[in-house]
Amino acid sequence: MRTTEKHYDFRKKLLQVHKNDIRDYSLALEKNEFEITHGMRICVEKNASDVIMVAVKDFCDYMFTSMGVSLVIDKKGCFNEDGTINVRIAEKSEDLGEGNGYMGSKITIDNSIDIAAFDERGAAQALYYLEDLMTFRKAPYLEKGENSKRAMFSPRMVHSGYGIDWFPDEHLASIAHAGMDAILLFVKDVNITTTGFVDMNEIIRRAAKYGIDVYAYSYMKGLKHPQEDGAEEYYNSTYGRLFENCPGFKGVILVGESCIFPSRDPHTTGSISFDFDGMATSKVHPAFWPCSDYPEFLEMLKKVIYKHNKDADIVLWSYGWEYTPEELRSDLIENLPKDVSLLSTYAMGDCYEKDGIIEKASDYTLSIVGPLPRFTEEAKAAKRAGLKLYTMANTGGLTWDFGVIPYEPFPNQWQKRHDNLLKDREENGLCGLMESHHYGFYPSFISELAKWNFTIMDKKPEDILGTILKSHYNNNTKLKEALKLWSEGISFYIAVNCDQYGPFRIGPAYPLNFRNKSVPKAAPYAHFGERILDADYKNIFIGSVPTQISIPQIAVPFEKEQLEKMKELMEKGIEIIEGIDNRNDELDELLELGKFISCCVTTCVNVKRFTLERMQMYASQTAEETLEHINLMEKIAKEEIGNAKSAIPYVRKNSRLGWEPSMEYLGDEEHILWKISQVESMIEHELGGWKKGIENNIMGDY
C-alpha cells in the first residue's frame, strides 16, 4: 500500500537497484532452458578488472534479492565445467559476431553460461542482459542458445536524477544498467560545480568501476580571445588546470550559453556579459551565434587540454544557434578541427506550421518526433566535415515539456524518435547521445525501451514494449492501449516558451496573475530556482524571419484547443488503466503520474483561457462587456483552484512529482497551496476591485 512521502523520499527508490522477490515459484523450467540454482559458481579470471567484479557482485545481488538464489564467486577462472556461469574477456581469435565491438559480448547458454566479452564493459552489459531476461521470465530460467550484442551509441550521457552532481553508487549502477556509459558534471573550476565543492576525481574513480565515463559540462567562461596576448597562459589556468588535476575526465561539453568567449565575429557584440545597455543593435551575443572564430577557440582548448589527456573528447554543442542562417552554421562546422565532436539538438529551435498556425519548438520537446530541419542541416555538415556527431535527444525519458515529473510515459512517441535516431545513425553517422539535461535521469520503462532499441543484437523479444510493461505492471494489453492514447496526446502539445517556462514548468503550482505579478520562491540552494520560471505569462515569439511571428489572438485559441485534445486523450487512457483489475503499486504510481500530467495540461489550458479573457477585457468598449470578461476570469480562476486541489494527493504520494533538480521543489504541495492562496487573493482583491470600480463606474486605482 502506497502512503504519503516526505520530500526526497523518491531517492529511496533510486537507491534500490534490484527489486525484491520478483520470482514466481509456480513457474516450471521448460525443456530448452537452463536454471541458475543455489550455490552455483560464477567464474571470473584471477585478474578480473574492477568493472567486471562490480558487475559480478551486482549479478549475485540480483540473484539473491530478486530471485532468492545465492551464488558463489570463483576467481580461479575455471571456464569449462557444466553448471557454471563463466565471465571472461574473449580471445582475439574468437568470433563474437555482432558482439565484436565496444560494450560487446557473445553469450552462450547450454549446460553452463559462457560470456565471452569484447571488453570489460561488454561483460558487465551481458550480466545486466541476463538479469533483464530473468526479470521478464520471473524466474532464474534462461533459454539455451547464443546471442551476440553490442552498444549502438557511445557516449550515452546523462546528468544525475538524484540531485545535481550527486552520484551515489546505486545511481551509477542504475545508469549502467540502462546501457548508458557517461555522466555529466557541471564544472566551474577544479572541484567546483554550480552547487559548490565536489571531489571530481572521487566521482571519476567510482564511475569508472561501473564502466561509466565522466564529461565536464563547462561553466567556465573564457575571458580572453585566443589571439590575445596571454591567452594561452589564461586557458592553461582554466581548462588546462582542470585536466591537469582531473585527467580522468573523458571530455568537455562546450555550449556558448554557459562558457562563451569574447568572439571577434563581426555579427556579434564581442562581449561575454549578458547585461543589456538599452541600445538597440543588430549584433547578436556570441553565446547565440556560430562564431567564425570558434575553430581558434577550440584549437586553444585542444592545446591546453591535450597536454594532460591526449584522448579528451572536446564537444561543441550548437545549442542557441536556432536563429542563425544555415550557411553560416554549415561553414563553421566544416571548418572545425577534425578531432572535435559536434553535438546538435534533435527536436528544438525550429519554427513549423501546424493547421495553418506558425509555432516554434522553443525548447526540448517530445511533441515533435524529430529530427527538425536544423539538426539535419548540421548533421549533413558534420558528415561532410568528417566530425563525430552526437545529438541531444532526451532519450533518458524526459524533455522540457513538463518540469516536475520523472519521465514522460509516452512510449509510442518515444519509439518513433528511437526509430528516427537509428536512421540518422545509418544516414548521417550519428554515434553519440546526450539523454538528459539539468533534470537528470530517472529509471523507468521508457529508459528500458531505449536500452533495448539502442543495442545491436542477434535476437530481441518480438514485442519488447509489451514484454517490459508486463514485467513492471503485470499487464500489457490494456495498458498498451492506454499508453497509445497518451502517446497520441503528446503530439497535440505545443512547445512554446511561454508554456515550457510557465505553467508546464511547475504544473498546478503555477500562479494566475492578473495585474500584480506573484512568483513562487524556491530553495536558496537551487541551481536555477524560480529564475527559470516566467510567471508573467506572455504568448508571443519572434522567429528569424518576419513570417515567424506568433500573434496571441490567433495562437492562444489554437494552442488551447490542441491541449484540450491532449487532455481528452490523457483522460481516456486514465479511464482504461483505472479499469485494470489487481493493479500493483507500480501501476498505481504510473496512473497517478498520468493524472498529474493531466492536471498540468488543465493548468495550462486555464492559463490560456484566463489570458484570452484578459486580452478581450482590455479591448472591451463598454463597462458591461468589461464586467462580463472579469466574471469569466473569476470563473476560470475558481476552476483552476479546483484543479490545483485535485493534484495535491498525487504529489503527496510521489515525492518526485513537484521536484526537478535545477529548481528543487517548486511544484509540491506547499507551492500548490501557495498558488491556491495567490489565486484566491487575486480574485478577492484584484478582480474584486475591478468589479467594484466598474459597478460604481469608477476604475479606482486600476
Q: What is the pLDDT of residues 322-342, one digit of tens each?
A: 889 999 999 999 999 999 999
- Which residue stretches of 474-551 are H helix? 477-490, 497-500, 503-506
Q: What is the pLDDT of residues 350-370, one digit of tens each?
A: 777 777 777 778 889 999 999
Name the pLDDT band for 701 (thresholds 50, 70, 90).
Answer: very low
Residue 697, pLDDT score: 67
The C-alpha atoms of residue 597 and residue 667 are separated, in whole angstroms, by: 12
Q: Are residues 41 and 103 in the same domain?
A: yes
In a domain, 70, yes or no: yes
Q: Could you give the 3-state DSSP secondary structure of residue 691?
A: helix
Q: Are residues 183 and 299 in the same domain?
A: yes
Q: Are residues 444 and 502 in the same domain?
A: no
User: Mean per-residue pLDDT for 37-44?
Assistant: 96
Q: Are residues 559 and 632 in the same domain?
A: yes
The residue out of 149, 173, 193 marking a domain boundary is: 149
Residue 344 identity: S
The C-alpha atoms of residue 476 and residue 470 are separated, in whole angstroms, by: 5
Q: What is the pLDDT of residues 654-691, one digit of tens each?
A: 999 999 999 999 999 999 999 999 999 999 999 999 99
Q: Are residues 281 and 340 in the same domain?
A: yes
Q: Say which CATH number the domain at 403 has.
A: 3.20.20.80
Q: Are residues 389 and 321 in the same domain?
A: yes
Q: Which residues pair with 432 in a beta bridge?
A: 390
The residue out of 117, 149, 181 marking a domain boundary is: 149
In a domain, 279, yes or no: yes
pLDDT at 539 over 80: no
In a domain, 472, yes or no: no
Q: What is the pLDDT of residues 586-605, one digit of tens each?
A: 999 999 999 999 999 999 99
The C-alpha atoms of residue 288 and residue 268 are separated, in whole angstroms, by: 9
| Phi, then psi, of 483 in degrees rounded to 5 | -70, -25
The C-alpha atoms of residue 148 and residue 273 are separated, in whole angstroms, by: 52
Residue 547, pLDDT score: 41
Q: Are residues 299 and 396 in the same domain?
A: yes
Residue 464 identity: I
In a domain, 701, yes or no: no
Q: Which helix (H) or strand (E) holds 637?
A: helix 623-653
Residue 405, pLDDT score: 98
The residue out of 449, 464, 479 marking a domain boundary is: 464
What's the domain range around 294? 156-464
The C-alpha atoms of residue 8 and residue 655 are separated, in whole angstroms, by: 6
| Phi, then psi, of 461 in degrees rounded to 5 | -55, 140
How many domains does the structure of the chain reveal? 3
Share the mean pLDDT of the chain.
93
Q: Which helix (H) or strand (E) holds 193?
A: strand 192-193
Q: Are residues 274 and 352 in the same domain?
A: yes
| Phi, then psi, of 180 in degrees rounded to 5 | -85, 150
Q: What is the pLDDT of residues 512-538, one digit of tens each?
A: 999 999 999 999 999 999 999 999 887
204 near 191, Cβ under 8 Å?
no
Q: Are residues 266 and 288 in the same domain?
A: yes
Q: Are residues 373 and 238 in the same domain?
A: yes
The C-alpha atoms of residue 212 and residue 210 are separated, in whole angstroms, by: 5
pTM equals 0.95
562 near 545, Cβ under 8 Å?
no
Residue 358, pLDDT score: 72
Q: Are residues 350 and 402 in the same domain?
A: yes
User: Mean per-residue pLDDT for 297-313?
Assistant: 98
Q: Are residues 220 and 136 in the same domain?
A: no
Residue 540, pLDDT score: 53
Residues with Cβ within 8 Å of residue 74, at least 6 apart in sequence: 41, 42, 43, 44, 84
Q: Say which CATH number the domain at 38 has.
A: 3.30.379.10
